[in-house]
Structure 1
Amino acid sequence: MLRHLVPRPDALLCAALAADLDAADFRSEPLRAAWGEEADDALARGIRSPLLRAVEGRTDPLVTLGRLFVLGMAQPEADVAAALARTGIDGLEALGLGYAENGQVVPAALIRPQSFVDADGVGEWWIASDLDELALGGALPADHVLGVGGASRTLASLVMPIEVERALDLGTGCGIQALLVARHAGSVVATDISERALAYAELNARLAGAGNIEFRHGSMFEPVAGESFGLIVSNPPFVITPRGADVPEYEYRDGGLVGDALVEAFVREAPAHLAPGGSAQLLGNWESRPTAGSRTGARGLRRLESWIDPELDAWVVQRETLSPLGYAELWIRDGGTTPRDAVFEPLLNAWLDDFAARDVTEIGFGYVLIRRPASGGSSPLRRFETLAQPVTSAGRAFRDGLAGHDALTEGIPDVLLVAPDVTEARHHLPGQDAPSVIELRQGGGFGRTMSVDPALAGFVGACDGDLTVMQIAAALADLFQVPLVELWADLEPRIRTLVTDGFLIPASR
């Protein structure tokens, strides 16, 4: 049986391990080149035999460490000792990452290269986490510490690239968000209810050489009572799991509360820990439930809106919804249980019974942004929307959207510029000279498409910095032979929408 070790992030040994990984060129591209793109893609689908065939017979440090740490497979002691000349096998065991047994080194953790891109450039870290289902050959233990998964990458993409003095990563897990935020913060506090997760997070920070992160143990905001931050990020354990003795709970995803109470608690408590102008961003689930006197029920977004103080800026993007059945199956499979397992049907029924007890009709997933305004006097931003289209650079879109909202508090800016990712499409009926449909499309951000009429299309097309907003409006009024006051009354609210949606950017002359 595999030994379930706890990481011990000794500073000197972490430095030695980082040096060994660097010497082996243990990075994404060299590994992908070693076993080939097709085998690498197969590994992402949980298939490792093509990869093993591709590197059969190789014992060089890169491939040895790839088998040991990427696949979680035991390797001969002599090969590991050669690959980890500075750390040594004893050092690896002292770190809680592996141990010697019967002439083999058995991994107790995975270490995988993780690349990142932000405003400062491109880089890569080594991220350690617990052995996954493929390495374990079965279901995950309850205290499993997840590596960098889809939710982690999603949150990383939507966190605004802003400079702050202090930041908080609540529920840090393996620590990837803390590492990313630390690149733009003077200091970061990373918290988790799991001591095991904090050990991994600290080890990963030491491997990355990040010295501005402090790790604290505790639930929700207890470890930072009375403190405030310019940015709070969280990928909390938001999965809605039935409370029962026969239902496994995983620390990395289950918060131990009923329904969506954990997300509600975060949304209600986070603002008290935001400095003026500070923002909180998280991923979450929310339930749609019936309300008294309504057969259609309270949609999840409306419930979520009721949790947020109306004086705060709030921007929520719902990305998808699932039925109770779809949701239950998703997360039962996530724990490594499939319909072939005898426990699958009992677990499914437990999930469905739990949702039925609250009359839940669907479960939403998405992004939550809350900001404490730096000063009073302006109307708060309140956006609760559902977006199904592909999203890229959501963090920049959130940042620019808030900046646009702020710029509009004193009216539409004198000069506006078309965002560089905006294109225009015109659709004509056969034989017609005038377009029947004109669309503005975003190439990045939230990927919005907006239908516009010729007047608004003309306005946007003229926003190149040469003319003021009112000069453009006056020229359009002459062109379309309508009074300027009438034209402006029609254009003004739609121009505001274009600014907050990022189609138009305020500029200074």
Structure 2
Amino acid sequence: MRMTVNPAPGLCAALRDDLTGAGYRAAELRAAWGAEADEAIGRGIAGPALAALGERRDPLATLARMLFLGRACAASDVSRALPRLGAVGLVGLGLAAQRGDTLEPAALVRPQEISDGLGDGQWWIASDLDELALGGALPTDHVLGVGGASLTLAGLQLTSPAGPVLDVGTGCGIQALRARRVAGRAVATDVSHRALAFTRLNAQLNDVGDIEVRHGNLFDPVAGEQFDRVVSNPPFVITPRVAGVPEYEYRDGGLAGDALVARVVSGVGAVLAPRGVAQLLGNWEYGADGDGLERVRGWVAASPVPLDAWVVERERLDPLAYAELWVRDGGTVPGTAEYDRLITAWLADFADRGVTGIGFGYVLLRRPAAGTPTLARYERATQPVAGALGAHLTAALAAWDRIAAMDDVALAATVLTVATDVSEARHHTPGEEHPRVIELRQGGGFARTVPVDPALAALVGACDGDLPLGTLIDAVAELMEVDAGALRADLLPRVRELVFTGFLGLPG
């Protein structure tokens, strides 16, 4: 059922107090239904969790059924679980409807753990009933809750303090909530009035301060304004433009192919203040037009405002895998005629346009203070990454600015230190004295593995914060009996790369 979401501050405060009092948190829910049921929920199966709750009618169990699993409950049980808000208050928020003695959920409110460079925390996130609660396909105006992509982007957000932040295509407001951890002001835009109502409700529910919401498409609601940060999990999913294929507001921007992401990339510079940073997720196509990352490079070049760019492709799917991913995402069941029809439509669209693959990744863009870009990095990093990357990206940008301002003489005079998460691996053929391969491995950040030669390995090993880089290179040259000038010319560019990627640290 659809009810109007009402983000009334007093009702939100009462709900917050009641959820706190009931211990309605992620860890407590996992303990209530167990690891196996928790894994089943992640696969869209509610039965094991409901079975584990059994006949329990305590506040945590009632809220778990009602607000997490989307099951109707007795109104009297809900009122006992929410003593301040009551069943009437939950209806007043637009999160439930009363039918006689029964309260039927109209939305979900789920606890969400967060962890980033600013520390650990937890929110409650309200959103529309999902396929777990509905038991079928989603309506096209569905307001999505917290998914893997939104958590990824929240973890990517820079951790340094910021002025005003813009969240484009806010959905339930998760990115705006994350932005308020570092910014005094956040503006959230969306084409969905319902999404904006959920954003306001979630801001009130989590007591993060005001989030200003504006209705409209992409940057239209903020034309003429500038922001220190722009964050967007845009509706980037590539959807066939043919009759009968559902167009979900939360994931479909209404444009063909990857044109929506292209529009965001080429247009965001206009709303960035000098030194402002934009971060977004996106898809880009491979095919007749060539390499997907080169497509993104072209979008950046098309920006009227010159931009620094750091683009990381994390995954590449073939057309069939991509189609299966998003048809299932809409709640269509594999093996049905409707599933086959939609898959066929997706594959026909890709074939007609000569698309052979679809990349997914992270896009970081920055408006240089002086107007001249210095960073143009387009890379593939498909290795597993543990934890949020926001602090790493923040440090990498700061390191880039410092290292780019140094010529080789200044760099050689700098004292560097090896990051604490870096280790070295040497691979030997049995019986050989010298290693065939030497690798530097990063425990944090993008968990990079970098092959190095003996000279660079020796230099990195000697970077203990004591002697300048030039002195160390001279010592390595003497030890290896090679020309010091030639070794400097070889090593310094690679040292710059190691500083940017976090293997080596600058002083201070």
TM-score range, shorter chain: over 0.9
Q: What is the SS of the residue equivalent to 1:185?
A: coil
For residue 489 of structure 1, what is the aligned residue in structure 2? Answer: 489
For residue 451 of structure 2, what is the aligned residue in structure 1? Answer: 451
For residue 381 of structure 1, what is the aligned residue in structure 2? Answer: 375
CA distance in structure 2 between the aligned counterparts of 1:117 and 1:134, rounded to whole angstroms: 25
State the Cα deviation string for residues 94-117 of structure 1 (Å, max 9, x = none).
Answer: 111001113211010111101111
TM-score by length of 1: 0.95
State the Cα deviation string for residues 46-94 of structure 1 (Å, max 9, x = none).
Answer: 2222222222121111110111011000011111111112112221111
* Matching residue within 59, 65, 77 for 1:79: 77
For residues 385-396 of structure 1, what are the structure 2 equivalents within 5 Å?
385-392=379-386, 393-396=388-391
Residue segments in structure 2 that go unaligned for 5+ positions in a row: none
Contact map agreement 1:260 1:287 (CA 8 A) in 2 = yes
Give the root-mean-square deviation of aligned CA atoms: 1.4
Does residue 19 in structure 1 map to residue 14 in structure 2?
no
For residue 147 of structure 2, what is the aligned residue in structure 1? Answer: 149
Q: What is the SS of the residue equivalent to 1:308?
A: helix
Which residue identity is paired with 1:352?
L
Does residue 195 in structure 1 map to residue 189 in structure 2?
no
Contact map agreement 1:9 1:200 (CA 8 A) in 2 = yes
Q: What is the SS of the residue equivalent to 1:415?
A: coil
Query: Once structures 1 and 2 are overlaid, which stretch shifts more, 333-342 or 62-71?
Result: 333-342
| 1:5 Cα deviation from its structure 2 partner | 1.2
Does residue 308 in structure 1 map to residue 300 in structure 2?
yes
Contact map agreement 1:235 1:282 (CA 8 A) in 2 = yes
Contact map agreement 2:118 2:159 (CA 8 A) in 1 = no
Change (3 A) 1:9 1:247: same
Does residue 322 in structure 1 map to residue 312 in structure 2?
no
| 1:309 Cα deviation from its structure 2 partner | 3.1
For residue 472 of structure 2, what is the aligned residue in structure 1? Answer: 472
For residue 499 of structure 1, what is the aligned residue in structure 2? Answer: 499
Which residue identity is paired with 2:35?
E
Which residue identity is paired with 1:446?
F
Residue segments in structure 1 that go unaligned for 5+ positions in a row: 292-297
Contact map agreement 2:312 2:363 (CA 8 A) in 1 = yes
For residue 332 of structure 1, what is the aligned residue in structure 2? Answer: 327
For residue 43 of structure 1, what is the aligned residue in structure 2? Answer: 41
Change (3 A) 1:376 1:245: closer
Change (3 A) 1:51 1:191: same
CA distance in structure 2 between the aligned counterparts of 1:396 and 1:11, rounded to whole angstroms: 33
Contact map agreement 2:116 2:390 (CA 8 A) in 1 = no
Q: What is the SS of the residue equivalent to 1:180?
A: helix
| 1:17 Cα deviation from its structure 2 partner | 0.9
For residue 275 of structure 2, what is the aligned residue in structure 1? Answer: 277
Structure 1 ranges of 4+ moved more than 6 A: none
Contact map agreement 2:166 2:230 (CA 8 A) in 1 = yes
CA distance in structure 2 between the aligned counterparts of 1:384 and 1:370, rounded to whole angstroms: 12
For residues 240-389 of structure 1, what are the structure 2 equivalents within 5 Å?
240-291=238-289, 298-309=290-301, 311-376=306-371, 380-389=374-383
CA distance in structure 2 between the aligned counterparts of 1:376 and 1:124, rounded to whole angstroms: 39
| 1:376 Cα deviation from its structure 2 partner | 4.7
* Matching residue within 217, 220, 245 for 2:218: 220
Contact map agreement 1:286 1:363 (CA 8 A) in 2 = yes
For residue 208 of structure 1, what is the aligned residue in structure 2? Answer: 206
For residue 4 of structure 1, what is the aligned residue in structure 2? Answer: 2
CA distance in structure 2 between the aligned counterparts of 1:61 and 1:351, rounded to whole angstroms: 45
| 1:372 Cα deviation from its structure 2 partner | 0.9
Which residue identity is paired with 2:121?
G
Which residue identity is paired with 2:97?
Y
CA distance in structure 2 between the aligned counterparts of 1:157 and 1:421, rounded to whole angstroms: 19
| 1:126 Cα deviation from its structure 2 partner | 0.6
The percent of aligned pairs where both chains have the same amino acid is 57
Q: What is the SS of the residue equivalent to 1:186?
A: coil
CA distance in structure 2 between the aligned counterparts of 1:351 and 1:376, rounded to whole angstroms: 41
State the Cα deviation string for residues 470-508 of structure 1 (Å, max 9, x = none).
Answer: 111121122112221121112111111111221111114
Change (3 A) 1:495 1:150: same
Q: What is the SS of the residue equivalent to 1:424?
A: strand
Contact map agreement 2:280 2:363 (CA 8 A) in 1 = yes
For residues 64-143 of structure 1, what are the structure 2 equivalents within 5 Å?
64-143=62-141
Contact map agreement 1:8 1:96 (CA 8 A) in 2 = yes
| 1:431 Cα deviation from its structure 2 partner | 1.4
Q: What is the SS of the residue equivalent to 1:351?
A: helix
Query: Once structures 1 and 2 are overlaid, which stretch shifts more, 485-494 or 175-184?
Result: 485-494
Q: What is the SS of the residue equivalent to 2:337?
A: coil
CA distance in structure 2 between the aligned counterparts of 1:499 and 1:337, rounded to whole angstroms: 47
State the Cα deviation string for residues 136-165 of structure 1 (Å, max 9, x = none).
Answer: 111100111111001111111222212111
Contact map agreement 1:177 1:233 (CA 8 A) in 2 = yes
For residues 51-66 of structure 1, what are the structure 2 equivalents within 5 Å?
51-66=49-64
Which residue identity is paired with 1:219?
N
| 1:416 Cα deviation from its structure 2 partner | 1.2
Contact map agreement 2:117 2:390 (CA 8 A) in 1 = no
Which residue identity is paired with 1:477?
A
For residue 439 of structure 2, what is the aligned residue in structure 1? Answer: 439
Query: Once structures 1 and 2 are overlaid, which stretch shifts more, 51-60 or 225-234?
Result: 51-60
Query: Once structures 1 and 2 are overlaid, which stretch shifts more, 30-39 or 76-85?
Result: 30-39
| 1:357 Cα deviation from its structure 2 partner | 2.5
Query: Once structures 1 and 2 are overlaid, which stretch shifts more, 246-255 or 27-36?
Result: 27-36
Query: Once structures 1 and 2 are overlaid, which stretch shifts more, 321-330 or 11-20?
Result: 321-330
CA distance in structure 1 between the aligned counterparts of 2:335 and 2:429, rounded to whole angstroms: 54
Contact map agreement 2:44 2:131 (CA 8 A) in 1 = no
Which residue identity is paired with 1:107?
P
Which residue identity is paired with 1:209?
D
For residue 399 of structure 1, what is the aligned residue in structure 2? Answer: 394
Contact map agreement 1:192 1:198 (CA 8 A) in 2 = yes
| 1:28 Cα deviation from its structure 2 partner | 1.1
For residue 234 of structure 2, what is the aligned residue in structure 1? Answer: 236
CA distance in structure 1 between the aligned counterparts of 2:435 and 2:359, rounded to whole angstroms: 38
State the Cα deviation string for residues 406-431 of structure 1 (Å, max 9, x = none).
Answer: 11222326111111111011112111
Contact map agreement 2:204 2:210 (CA 8 A) in 1 = no
CA distance in structure 2 between the aligned counterparts of 1:376 and 1:264, rounded to whole angstroms: 21
Query: Once structures 1 and 2 are overlaid, which stretch shifts more, 346-355 or 415-424?
Result: 346-355
Which residue identity is paired with 1:366?
G
CA distance in structure 1 between the aligned counterparts of 2:425 and 2:349, rounded to whole angstroms: 48
Contact map agreement 1:186 1:212 (CA 8 A) in 2 = no
